[in-house]
Amino acid sequence: MASAPRIQFVVTNVDYKRRDPVFWIEVQTNITKYKQKQKRFPRYYSELIKLHDYLSSTCDDVLIPALPSCPSPRFDKEGHLVGRQWWFTIRLPGEKLVDLGDIGSVENKIQLWFDRIVEHDRTKTSEGLRAFVESEVGFRPSIIPQQQQPQQQKLHQRIKSPKYVIVHVSPDDMEPEFGHCLEDLDIFSQNLQAALTRLDKLVQEQNLMARSWMDLSSSWVSYGGIERNPSLFILYKTIAKGYQQLVDLERSQASAVNETLSDEILYELKNCESTQNAMQRRLVALSDYLSSRKHTESSLRSVERLKSSINIDRDQASEAIAILEDARIHERNNLQRFERIDTNLRQDIEHQYKPNTAQDMLRTVKEYAKSQLYLEKKKLAVLNEIIVKQDDVLIN
């Protein structure tokens, strides 16, 4: 028994030193049309954008997830790449190194995007995905319309005639379920925008607090400059140094907010837009079907009028019958296309978009909470160190 088609992408490393970062990707597959079942190859981030656009253009019945923004790497003082959860690498002076486990790779969202693309039954076998893997000169897709058959060309010319009426469908004309889905997406988008606004205010408050700690640190430095008591001089210096550490921690908290919740919300806004565009494709497909059905009805009435006519022109009758037959074929094809898009997009929204969004948001909230708790503990340790030093001065 033949095994199911399978393909796996793994981002092994990334060259961030270029303006357009290069992702090294390792692929393994059992799909027969692939020349090599295992391969490692580089692709620029701009080529990932092209792959996303190609899949979105050619897979009309698939809800393609939005491509995450290009990762912004962080480097330590030695120039080494720091993981996504970089805040776990922050150490106070004299603090022992504690292994907190995997802090995540910077490009993990790109890896997750690849995972979801190749896990989808209707994209894993895409010709564009094969070209993305096997091209030796980079990924340069071109969407070429299939060559029309002579009969289809005639029909294409006929439906451009004034007799072919386009039926425009609005969301109000759809079933209530469709309207509820659009409304939910709109509310979700508005809530994300509101959350993003509140997070911007939070980041501004944290940066303002950092400036306050900086001003206090400068004040204690000034006090130390005029202090003649050696013990108080050391205390003032310790306080100023502690406040400077608090400045760095406040800024780290603001950065952590941006790189967890804010980034994820921006990404989910893009995903929400992709879903709304998919719903629009469903509307267009229905409009095409209703237009073709109306054209079939019009063509049928033309044939009926010819039948009731006293003088029937043979060429005219043959033309009318041919138009009717073409119209029926066109209507049937459009009906099949609409049913395919309708069924598959419903499944993608229910079984992929909704659970994936919930999973991503929950994971991000946990990551955000861990970052803030960890950095708050660091701030508490700094303040505790200042209190201990103050107590030593008072005792002595």
Tally of CB atoms within 10 A around 331 = 21
pLDDT band of residue 384 (cuts 50, 70, 90) is very high
The pLDDT of residue 180: 87
| Mean pLDDT value across residues 9-34 | 94
**95 vs 48, residue with greater confidence:** 48
The pLDDT of residue 98: 66
| Mean pLDDT value across residues 248-260 | 96
User: What's the pTM value of the predicted model, to 2 decimals?
Assistant: 0.87
Q: Report yes or no: 62 and 344 within 8 Å, Cβ to Cβ.
A: yes
pLDDT band of residue 309 (cuts 50, 70, 90) is confident
The pLDDT of residue 148: 41
**28 vs 313, residue with greater confidence:** 28
Question: Which among 23, 25, 29 is positioned nearest to 5, based on CA atoms?
Answer: 29
pLDDT band of residue 150 (cuts 50, 70, 90) is very low
Model pLDDT for residues 154-195, shown as the tens digit of each residue: 445 444 454 677 777 777 777 778 888 889 999 999 999 999
| Mean pLDDT value across residues 23-41 | 94
The answer to whether the Cα torsion of 316, 320, 325, 326 is positive or negative is positive
| Mean pLDDT value across residues 352-378 | 96
Q: What is the percentage of the chain residues whose pLDDT exceeds 70?
A: 92
The pLDDT of residue 396: 66
pLDDT band of residue 133 (cuts 50, 70, 90) is very high
Residue 151 pLDDT greater than 70, yes or no: no
Residue 301 pLDDT greater than 90, yes or no: no
Q: Report yes or no: 114 and 101 within 8 Å, Cβ to Cβ.
A: no
Q: What is the percentage of the chain residues whose pLDDT exceeds 90?
A: 63
Indicate the angle between helix axes 45-58 and 127-134, nearest 10 degrees: 160
What are the helix (H) ranges across 161-262? 176-226, 230-257
Q: What is the DSSP letter of 351?
A: I
The pLDDT of residue 318: 84
Which residue is it, tokens 């096997």? 134
Tally of CB atoms within 10 A around 309 = 11
Question: Which among 163, 153, 151 is positioned nearest to 298, based on CA atoms?
Answer: 163
Rounded to 10 degrees, what is the CA torsion of 20, 22, 27, 32?
A: 50
Return phi, psi of residue 12, to 5°. Answer: -85, -40
Annotate 50-86 with DSSP letters as a single string: HHHHHHHHH-TTS-PPPPPPPP--EE-TTSPEEPTTG
Which residue is it, tokens 């037959």? 325
Q: Among 118-127, 222-231, 323-332, 368-377, which stretch is predicted with the lowest mean pLDDT?
A: 222-231
Is 112 strand, coil or helix? helix
The answer to whether the Cα torsion of 188, 190, 195, 200 is positive or negative is positive
Question: Which among 261, 356, 283, 351 is positioned nearest to 66, based on CA atoms?
Answer: 356
Return phi, psi of residue 82, to 5°. Answer: -100, 145
Model pLDDT for residues 58-102, shown as the tens digit of each residue: 999 999 999 999 999 988 888 888 899 999 988 888 787 666 667
What residues contact residue 100 under an 8 Å CB cut-off, 6+ apart? 88
Tally of CB atoms within 10 A around 183 = 11
Residue 338 pLDDT greater than 80, yes or no: yes
In whole angstroms, how far apart are CA 139 and each of 75, 114, 128, 370, 391? 29, 16, 9, 39, 66
Return phi, psi of residue 335, to 5°. Answer: -65, -45
Q: How far apart are CA 338 and CA 374, in angstroms?
A: 51
Residue 214 pLDDT greater than 90, yes or no: yes
